[in-house]
Structure 1
Amino acid sequence: MRNGGRNLPAAGGRGAIFAPLEVGKRADAVVRRLSEGIRLGLLVPDEQLPSETDLAETFGVSPVTIREALTALRGQGLVTTRRGRNGGSFVRRVRGGASDVLRERLREVSPSELRDLADHYAAISGTCAQLAADRAGEQDVKLITDSVAELERSVDAAARRRAESRFQVELASAAQSPRLTRAVISMQNEVAPLLWLSATTPVAREEVLRKHREILAAVVDSDGSLARALAVAHVYAAQARASALQLTFLADDDEADPDAHALPGPTAEE
């Protein structure tokens, strides 16, 4: 899909990615917005970004700021620039070991922090689902449906994580609340590795897909209460899977290094 020039969709989660920046934001904010869009799958591999001039106008910054941001994105391996008649800046495919990312993130947080993160996200996700059921239009429903289809055809953990994150962002966008949408996008950097990579078995992945379909059906039926309950349950089910994996990882670490948690013994001087 190519979206050079002014062919810049403003619907759904993509609209939040390309929304004007707040006053005072510079290249780092552009980098954050576009990198979030790429990692969440809202901007797809090989997609051509708008021109520097159009990006500057869209974000409300100078072309120099855009060039600085694109340079940073190229350095992160998220964007490539091609020269010539059909040149421009294109989204690169994000690669990486999903299991390694999950293990690293689960080591960084305590069980109480994981629970607190899930509580925060459940509150936001539940509200988004309820409002989406009340406010979603045909285009919103189509974008949520597309994200469910994307999850269904995902073949690896990284693709499933992007599809799950996109589902959450499109759900927030359907709530017609820019603040909620920005909050969901921002939280994905914390949530996605911990919660959406934790469905490591075929049974768990099928359960996640079923939850997506059920939430979508509740939105289509304008059943806000059910949509909220399903969205909250979806988050807490992910937390339960992540907590179980966390215990497994800690047990593996203890087995590999049995002295890691041992009390220090007496020193030579003692």
Structure 2
Amino acid sequence: MSVDPDSTNSTSSTDSTAADRLTPVLRPVRAGNGFEEALEQILQVVRLGLVPGGERLPAERELAERLGISRVTLREVLKVLQDQGLVESRRGRYGGTFVLPRKDGGGEDELRRRVAEVDIEDMLRFREVLEVGAAGLCAAHGLTDEQAARLREALAHTQDAPLSDYRRLDTLLHLTLAELCGSPSLTAQYAAVRATVNDLLDCIPLLVRNLEHSQRQHIAIVEAVLDGDADGAREMMREHCGGTAALLRGFLT
């Protein structure tokens, strides 16, 4: 007899941790496009690496509730992702829907395809506007003690991250800032543009010197936000985005 994965997933610590990471991305969909918007959001979860390869998505019941869709619709979404080789369904006591490890970048052909599909300058400028705005709003409006703790924790995770996991945890830090600014619309737009940024970053090497510099900027941004220094937070975030933009332009244009 098969076992419904939800019967064992919903109370696991793995699911709870994954659910926390998904907060900036998952939100109730609008009526009329439930399937399409739910697919878009879960694709962002996968592309952003919020649930790493080999880990389990939250239980169907929880995902459906957070997206505001039926479990029938959710299963249709998960079927699409499974057909695309992005997730797999496992049955049994430790079953559920698991994200499959990403395949390699595909070499030069894949790089050219990705670059051809993106207006890099437009994407970089839009990203800067969103990131600078989010950092400034967080600093200007202030954070609760709980929000400040979340931001510090996200920063700490990037400081301890191995190279293989750095990009995912860097993404989580930036998504946390976007979420804490208080604008769900900005958060949604940032999640979408960040997924595109990550697709391009996957085409270039991780440079230790750049990561060390980037980490110093992360610390300065978080300190400015926590100090309520809106101008400082915006300026440091603008500089931080400029560094990423320079790398992408250098490698890809």
Change (3 A) 1:121 1:28: same
Percent identical: 27
Of residues 4, 24, 31, the one that matches 2:9 is 4
Query: How far, CA to CA, are the matches of 2:115 and 2:197 in structure 1?
Result: 14
Any stretches of 5+ residues in structure 1 without a counterpart?
248-270
The answer to whether residue 233 in structure 2 is matched with residue 227 in structure 1 is: yes
Change (3 A) 1:217 1:97: same
Map 1:24-103 to 2 at 5 A: 24-97=32-105, 103=111
Instruction: Give the C-alpha shift of residue 197 in structure 1.
Output: 6.3
Aligned length: 243
User: What is the RMSD computed on CA atoms of the aligned residues?
Assistant: 3.2
Match for 2:25: what amino acid? I
Instruction: Give the C-alpha shift of residue 173 in structure 1.
Output: 0.6
Change (3 A) 1:58 1:8: farther
SS of residue matched to 2:89: strand
Instruction: Give the C-alpha shift of residue 170 in structure 1.
Output: 0.8
Match for 1:135: what amino acid? G
Change (3 A) 1:114 1:244: same
CA deviation profile, 1:149-200 (whole Å, cap 9, x unmatched) = 333344446x333223222211101112111110100111222233586564
CA contact under 8 A between 2:19 and 2:58: conserved in structure 1?
no
> 2:178 maps to what in 1?
172
Of residues 109, 130, 134, the one that matches 1:128 is 134
Map 1:171-190 to 2 at 5 A: 171-190=177-196
Instruction: Give the C-alpha shift of residue 46 in structure 1.
Output: 4.4
Q: Tell me the TM-score normalised to structure 2 length.
A: 0.80
Query: How far, CA to CA, are the matches of 2:114 and 2:102 in structure 1?
Result: 21
Structure whose alpha-carbon radius of gyration is higher: 1
CA contact under 8 A between 1:147 and 1:167: conserved in structure 2?
yes
CA contact under 8 A between 2:154 and 2:169: conserved in structure 1?
yes
The answer to whether residue 231 in structure 2 is matched with residue 209 in structure 1 is: no
The answer to whether residue 118 in structure 2 is matched with residue 115 in structure 1 is: no
After superposing the two structures, state which structure 1 stretch, 35-44 or 96-105, moved more. 96-105
CA contact under 8 A between 2:142 and 2:226: conserved in structure 1?
no
